């Protein structure tokens, strides 16, 4: 992976922010005192959802972080509670000759001004809260915004450089054991030890919005993988534009857009309306899965075109990093990378009813984990070594930092991360409704998929 990609990842490390969690799930909405004596500035909000005060706990290798309130308040909570991690991230950047130049590069290229102008107001406010709480660490408003504008930043400044990849599959209906919908996702990137060592589950309770979870790393104000309590799971994959005609100087970051979908959309139709009614700046792919309605869609997006592929008659839709919809197939980078085609074709072999190694009709969380762990080259039949991280020859070996299975209807998810190779690690189960204090919330069964 390129040094330039590593430079962008520095901003992720810079945004090391975490917040308090608690083992009990009280339904308080008034202001209180966080467990180490820091006053919680959260304003009162009459919510139809149970709420948990902003706190932090550790669960195995994971930090679980509860945030609540306005965007500014949630940012302030993060900046206060992950101050040590912020200092560590800044020190890491300071000592790297390339990463230390990143913010200045954004200024020199004009991307900083674009980020300030085109970011959603809620992202701006959350960054302001974060910086107000953590400014004594050296954290700046500009660093926060560039981090949370990262998809556009990479496309504008790093055209032709390696970027994050990722793959996803949604299965439902005839494809699954019980007819329900499940959503599998691998976040592929460079090997970044800081991210692997700091897996974070953010339980976000926005004032006036839908509670949701971001699955990632400290300072995820704009997610790569998310799910909300109304039954939507969602994640993004990188794509490359055909040329600069598919980018724009006005519009919105896609990772910021995914955060808005998590907060506002109750179903796939509402998510689609957000995507179609917003202006886009760069090239990206979303998969959004609607557990209650047992349907999922892949959205292929550039600044000028949007295509959609929905679960087919067999209950399947899957995606790597190239466009296939009629509306968009001519507008991404050509030729398509072999690794993108290879992983897509291996999904077909594993998921389609006539696939060479088909699990069709047997798919459930455990068997979807088997898919995400698959190391077979579909063209040669060769199996990559179990400890391989990034050879581009299978679903599991393209730089995985996270592997996730969602059951969005029940608000359940299982996450593998922490060590290389990530897909071979235990998938640890979580219940979003339990984290939010719901009575009789479904439990992930099994609690861990070994």
Beta strand 232-238 with 225-228 is antiparallel
Of 3-17, 185-199, 434-448, the range with the highest mean pLDDT is: 434-448
Give the pLDDT score at 164. Answer: 66
> Given phi > 0 = left and psi -120 to 50 = alpha, else beta, which region is 138?
left
Residues 284-296 have a mean pLDDT of 98
Angle at 95 between CA 91 and CA 101, to 5 degrees: 100
pLDDT over 70, % of the chain: 86
Query: Could you give phi then psi for residue 427, rounded to 5 degrees?
Result: -90, 110
- pLDDT over 70 at 72, yes or no: yes
Give the pLDDT score at 335. Answer: 94
Give the pLDDT score at 190. Answer: 86
Query: Could you give phi then psi for residue 317, rounded to 5 degrees?
Result: -155, 135
Give the pLDDT score at 30. Answer: 32
- pLDDT over 80 at 279, yes or no: yes
Evaluate whether 72 touches 123 at the Cβ level (below 8 Å): no
Beta strand 200-206 with 212-216 is antiparallel
Give the pLDDT score at 36. Answer: 39
Give the pLDDT score at 193. Answer: 82
Write down the mean pLDDT value for the chain.
Answer: 87
Sign of CA dihedral 61, 218, 212, 173: negative
| Range with the poorest average pLDDT among 75-84, 143-152, 352-361, 423-432 | 143-152
Give the pLDDT score at 139. Answer: 84
Evaluate whether 154 touches 165 at the Cβ level (below 8 Å): no
For residue 86, which of 38, 18, 152 has the smallest C-alpha distance?
Answer: 18
Predicted TM-score (pTM) of the model is 0.89
């Amino acid at each position: 992976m390129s040094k330039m990609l590593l430079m962008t990842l520095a901003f992720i490390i810079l945004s090391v922010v975490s917040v308090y969690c608690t083992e009990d799930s009280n339904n308080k909405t008034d202001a209180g005192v966080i467990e180490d004596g820091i006053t919680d500035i959260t304003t009162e909000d009459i919510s139809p959802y149970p709420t948990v005060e902003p706190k932090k706990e550790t669960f195995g290798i994971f930090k679980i972080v509860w945030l609540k309130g306005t965007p500014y308040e949630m940012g302030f909570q993060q900046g206060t509670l992950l101050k040590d991690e912020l200092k560590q991230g800044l020190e890491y950047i300071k000592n790297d000759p390339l990463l230390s130049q990143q913010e200045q590069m954004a200024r020199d290229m004009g991307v900083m001004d674009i980020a300030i102008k085109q970011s959603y107001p809620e992202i701006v406010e959350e960054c302001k809260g974060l910086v107000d709480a953590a400014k004594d660490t050296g954290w700046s408003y500009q660093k926060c915004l560039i981090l949370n504008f990262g998809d556009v930043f990479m496309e504008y400044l790093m055209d032709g450089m390696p970027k994050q990849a990722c793959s996803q599959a949604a299965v439902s209906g005839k494809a699954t054991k019980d007819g329900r919908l499940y959503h599998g996702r691998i976040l592929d990137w460079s090997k970044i030890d800081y991210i692997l060592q700091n897996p974070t589950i953010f339980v976000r309770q926005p004032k006036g919005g839908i509670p949701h979870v971001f699955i990632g790393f400290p300072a995820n104000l704009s997610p790569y993988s998310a799910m909300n309590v109304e039954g939507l799971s969602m994640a993004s994959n990188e794509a490359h534009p055909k040329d600069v005609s598919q980018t724009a100087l006005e519009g919105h970051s896609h990772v910021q857009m995914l955060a808005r979908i998590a907060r506002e959309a109750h179903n796939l139709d509402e998510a689609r309306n957000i995507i179609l009614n917003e202006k886009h700046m760069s090239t990206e792919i979303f998969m959004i899965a609607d557990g209650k309605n047992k349907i999922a869609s892949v959205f292929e997006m550039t600044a000028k075109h949007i295509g959609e592929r929905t679960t087919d008659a067999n209950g399947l839709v899957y995606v790597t990093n190239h466009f296939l919809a009629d509306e968009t197939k001519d507008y991404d980078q050509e030729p398509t990378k072999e690794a993108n085609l290879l992983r897509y074709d291996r999904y077909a072999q594993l998921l389609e009813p006539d696939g060479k190694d088909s699990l069709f009709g047997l798919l459930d969380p455990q068997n979807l984990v088997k898919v995400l762990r698959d190391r077979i080259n579909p063209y040669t039949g060769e199996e990559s070594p179990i400890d391989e991280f990034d050879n581009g020859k299978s679903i599991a070996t393209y730089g995985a930092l996270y592997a996730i299975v969602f059951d969005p209807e029940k608000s359940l998810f299982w996450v593998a991360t922490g060590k290389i190779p990530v897909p071979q690690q235990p998938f640890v189960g979580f219940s979003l409704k339990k984290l939010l204090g719901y009575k009789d919330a479904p439990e992930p069964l099994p609690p861990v998929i070994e």
